[in-house]
């Protein structure tokens, strides 16, 4: 039986956990009941700040509770699959922070286990929830720009050396899975794929040019989409000041340019420029990782509850969420080998 309010837990009480806690608190359909972090103080503080009943240090102990319906997974990227699989086997529905995980094999396993256990797996790509982004996707699907020939994504942010030193997992291959693309740029790459379709092949370069980290702080890729369009990805955490994410969709009949969720150029034949509200406005995430608004997370919390109640897929499924990670892994492979990489 589905409860009136989903009883929610948050596993991992770092920077992004408060955004999840805010979303649960503002949802009409969910209530925070438990928190968990290996740093007990963080779990206790989040529980106290948001009125959760209990806190845990060991997520396995939390998952034994039968009064938890769903969990937000906010731990380092390299253990997303491990905790997702444990939660699924415990019968909990899952809202997993981006990226879904950092390896194709682990993404395969976590998606399969969620299907086997009959639980819903949603992933946090909140930029998909913004009204303007949904409108642009609709225009592209309806081929309102004619034949799209160029689709570009620029995600050039600033993250200081102090940011990378603030947690031992940041900027490592083992736990972060990559740098400016896997951690920050994954949102933009996901949106590019969600709007413009899958990539067929690419050539790329990526390296750490400024920050003292294992992984890349600067990356460039040239894409060929399955649609035949060409594209460019530029990603960074090495630039000052950080730039807002930009997207360009250029066709033989029209074009749309965007900056974050704001449309900056609308040249769509027969369709007047929209008056849609810029959802997520005021988000300074390109400068400060803590300056992320909760509006998209509220949408995704409510959506996961709806997916369970209506017996449908979540808005962002595991299968869809993994595409951005597979693209990033292909960029890393091309950078290592110097060769063009074809995506499966």
SS3 244: coil
Which pLDDT belongs to residue 282? 45
To which H or E segment does residue 219 belong?
Answer: strand 218-225
What is the bridge-based pairing of β-strands 93-96 and 246-251? unpaired
Q: Are strands 121-123 and 54-56 parallel, antiparallel or unpaired?
A: unpaired
Tens digits of pLDDT across the chain (344 residues): 556 899 999 999 999 999 999 999 999 999 999 999 999 999 999 999 999 999 999 999 999 999 999 999 999 999 999 999 999 999 999 999 999 999 999 999 999 999 999 999 999 999 999 999 999 999 999 999 999 999 999 999 999 999 999 999 999 999 999 999 999 999 999 999 999 999 999 999 999 999 999 999 999 999 999 999 999 999 999 999 999 999 999 999 999 999 998 999 999 999 999 885 555 544 555 555 555 679 999 999 999 999 999 999 999 999 999 999 999 999 999 999 999 999 98
Q: Determine the pLDDT at residue 4.
A: 81
- Residues contacting 154, CB < 8 A, separation 6+: 188, 232, 233, 234, 235, 243, 245, 246, 247
Contacts of 253 (CB under 8 A, 6+ apart): 144, 145, 146, 147, 269
HSE-up of residue 256 (Cα within 13 Å, Cβ side): 31
How far is C-alpha 328 from the geometric centre of its chain's CA atoms? Answer: 13
The dihedral of CA 236, 237, 243, 249: what is its sign? positive
Look at residue 221 in the predicted model and tell me its pLDDT. Answer: 98
pLDDT at 281 (0 to 100) = 44
178: region left, alpha or beta (phi > 0 left; psi from -120 to 50 alpha): left
Q: What number of other Cβ atoms are within 10 A of residue 28's Cβ? A: 9
Helix (H, G, I), strand (E, B) or coil at 137: helix
Pairing of strands 341-342, 70-73: unpaired
221-254 residue pLDDT tens: 999 999 999 999 999 999 999 999 999 999 999 9
pLDDT tens digits along 179-216: 999 999 999 999 999 999 999 999 999 999 999 999 99
The CATH superfamily label for domain 127-291+324-342 reads: Dihydrodipicolinate Reductase; domain 2 (3.30.360.10)
The answer to whether domain 6-126+294-315 has CATH 3.90.79.10 is: no
Taking the model in full, what pTM does it have? 0.94
- Give residue limits of the domains in the chain: 6-126+294-315, 127-291+324-342
Task: Tell me if 180 sits within 8 A of 209, measured CB to CB.
Answer: no
């Amino acid at each position: 039986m589905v409860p009136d309010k989903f009883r929610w837990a948050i596993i991992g009480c770092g920077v992004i956990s408060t955004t999840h806690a805010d979303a649960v608190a503002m949802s009409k359909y969910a209530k925070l009941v438990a928190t968990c972090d290996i740093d007990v103080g963080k779990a206790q503080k989040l529980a106290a700040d948001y009125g959760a009943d209990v806190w845990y240090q060991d997520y396995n102990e939390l998952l034994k509770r039968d009064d938890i319906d769903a969990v937000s997974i906010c731990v380092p990227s390299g253990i997303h699959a491990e905790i997702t699989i444990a939660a699924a086997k415990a019968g909990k529905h899952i809202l997993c922070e981006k990226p879904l995980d950092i390896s194709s094999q682990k993404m395969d396993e976590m998606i399969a286990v969620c299907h086997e256990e009959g639980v819903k797996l949603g992933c946090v790509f909140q930029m998909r929830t913004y009204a303007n982004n949904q409108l642009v996707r609709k225009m592209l699907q309806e081929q309102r720009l004619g034949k799209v020939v160029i689709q570009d994504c620029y995600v050039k942010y600033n993250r200081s050396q102090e940011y990378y030193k603030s947690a031992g997992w940041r900027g490592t291959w083992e736990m972060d899975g990559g740098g400016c693309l896997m951690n920050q740029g994954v949102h933009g790459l996901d949106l590019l794929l969600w709007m413009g379709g899958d990539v067929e092949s690419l050539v790329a370069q990526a390296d750490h040019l400024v920050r003292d980290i294992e992984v890349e702080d600067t990356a460039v890729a040239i894409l060929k989409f399955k649609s035949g369009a060409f594209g460019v990805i530029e990603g960074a955490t090495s630039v000052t000041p950080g730039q807002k994410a930009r997207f360009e969709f250029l066709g033989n009949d029209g074009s749309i340019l965007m900056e974050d969720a704001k449309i900056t150029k609308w040249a769509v034949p027969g369709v007047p420029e929209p008056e849609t509200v810029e959802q997520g406005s005021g988000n300074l995430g390109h400068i400060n990782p803590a300056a992320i608004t909760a509006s998209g997370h509220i949408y995704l919390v409510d959506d996961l509850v709806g997916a369970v109640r209506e017996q449908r897929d979540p808005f962002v499924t595991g299968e869809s969420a993994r595409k951005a990670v597979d693209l990033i892994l292909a960029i890393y492979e091309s950078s290592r080998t110097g060769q063009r990489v074809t995506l499966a």
